[in-house]
Amino acid sequence: MPSEAEIRLRERLSKLGGMKLLRGTKLSGELERLQDQLDRLREEPSAEEIWRSVELARHQDRPYTLDYVARILDDFFELHGDRGRADDPALVTGLGRLAGRTVVLVGHQKGRDLKERTKRNFGMAYPEGYRKAMRAMALANRHGFPLVTMVDTPGAYPGVAAEQHGQGGAIARSQAEMARLSVPTVACIIGEGGSGGAIAIAVADRVLMQENAIYSVISPEGCAAILWRDAGEARKAAAAFKPDAAHCLELGVIDAIVPEPEGGAHTDPDEAARMLQESIVAALEEVESLDPGKRRAKRRAKYRLIGTLVSA
């Protein structure tokens, strides 16, 4: 029997989306936290607020994965290479200590200056990057280390060599690997959660999203170019497909929003890292106590239920 509060929340969630949401299992255990989050949201973000998120998510001073790693993980040891072809600098993997436990980290990495941006390919990974990620995931599973991923990419790299090396298949297999893991997994959208390149490392028990991050099926410019036939209509496109954290929470795509310092994560990276660390540790603690088989089944069930449908 769902409690009265739960019914209210469900109503609110479905009202926000304006239709029957194909979910429900997820709410009961996390009612209070979701209630907290929803209370903070007040009203639907406006088109201007959504565009502000797009700008902040791409802000040139926004902390990147390795900025957070330096502040959140102790004794970080980076792992390089996919053991087949190359080491993709657009995606970093490694081991570190987080609040008393060893975790495996997988994250996209953008560059700060022109030279590093080029080296990191603007955070757009090749299949080699996703294969490196899969190697790190398998390692985590073998040793029972929780997996933490940080998502910050405009998308997987659209290039000739990337296609020849199997970009689509690599993204599919990386998700399958995450669906198979027995260890606890937490994904954090920390900047741009761009399409397939993002979901490749974001199939997790708990998905967190920073307040000003975006998570979307296509870039606002890409969407505008296709549907409006004008990439300059990116603002309209973003307002239409709603890549902001509040909408992602309402749609059941993420589990929690991680607050950022006033003005955005770049105004105070230390404080942003502290808030992110707190949320990651809390999320890990929520799922660590579960039986591994049950945890994996719940993870799959969560994704199995996302979507909206009607019956004709």
Partner 1 sequence: MSFRQGRVDVEIEKKRTDDAPAGKDHPNTCPGCGSHYREDELVKSLRVCPQCGHHFPVRARERIEQLADQGTFDEEDADLRSADPLGFFDLRPYTERLAEAEMATGLGDAIVCGRAAIEGEACRLAVMDFAFMGGSMGSVVGEKFARACESAAAAGVPLVSVTASGGARMQEGILALMQLPKTICAIEELHEGGGSLFSVLTHPTTGGVLASYASLGDVVLAEPGALMSFAGPRVVAQTTREKLPDDFGLAESNYRFGHLDAIVSRRDLRPTLSRLLRLFGKHA
The residues facing 21 across adjacent strands are: 308
Nearer Cβ to partner 1, position 7 or 226?
226
Residue 79's closest CA among 123, 122, 121, 138?
A: 138
Choice between 173 and 266, CB closer to partner 1: 173
Q: Which of residues 217-276 bind partner 1 (CB under 8 A)?
A: 217-218, 222-223, 226-228, 236-237, 240-243, 247-248, 251, 253
- The yes or no reply on residue 47 touching partner 1 (CB under 8 A) is no
Cα separation values, 75 from 101, 185, 204, 273, Å: 11, 20, 24, 16
Site residues (CB under 8 A) for partner 1, limited to 102-141: none
CB of 76 to partner 1, least distance (A): 28
Interaction between residue 84 and partner 1 (CB under 8 A): no
What's 165's DSSP letter?
A: T
Sort residue 155 into left (φ over 0), alpha (ψ -120 to 50) or beta: left
Three-state SS for 207? strand
CB atoms within 10 A of CB 235: 15
State the Cα–Cα distance between residues 241 and 82, nearest whole angstrom: 35
Map the footprint of partner 1 across residues 21-40, applying CB under 8 A. Answer: 21-22
| Smallest separation, CB 195 to partner 1 (Å) | 6
CA angle 61, 125, 121 (to 5 degrees): 50
Taking CB under 8 A as the criterion, the residue among 84, 144, 169, 232 binding partner 1 is 169
Q: Between 21 and 133, whose beta carbon lies closer to partner 1? A: 21
Residue span binding partner 1 (CB under 8 A) among the ranges 13-21, 76-84, 133-141, 255-263: 13-21
User: Which residue among 215, 246, 258, 264 contacts partner 1 (CB under 8 A)?
Assistant: 215
Q: Does 308 bind partner 1 (CB under 8 A)?
A: yes
**Count of residues interacting with partner 1 (CB under 8 A):** 61
Place of tokens 């970080």: 76
Closest CA to 73 of 165, 182, 188: 188
Cβ closest to partner 1, residue 65 vs residue 121: 121
Single residue of 134, 136, 140, 162 touching partner 1 by CB under 8 A: 162
Site stretch for partner 1 (CB under 8 A), options 1-9, 91-99, 105-113, 299-307: 299-307
- Is position 310 an interface residue for partner 1 (rule: CB under 8 A)? yes
Distance between CA atoms of 192 and 153, rounded to whole angstroms? 5
CA distance linking residue 133 with residue 232, whole number of Å: 34
Helical pair 269-288 and 65-72, crossing angle rounded to 10 deg: 70
Binding residues (CB under 8 A) for partner 1: these are 17-22, 156, 158-160, 162-169, 171-173, 175-176, 179-180, 195-196, 198-200, 203, 215-218, 222-223, 226-228, 236-237, 240-243, 247-248, 251, 253, 299-300, 303-304, 306-312
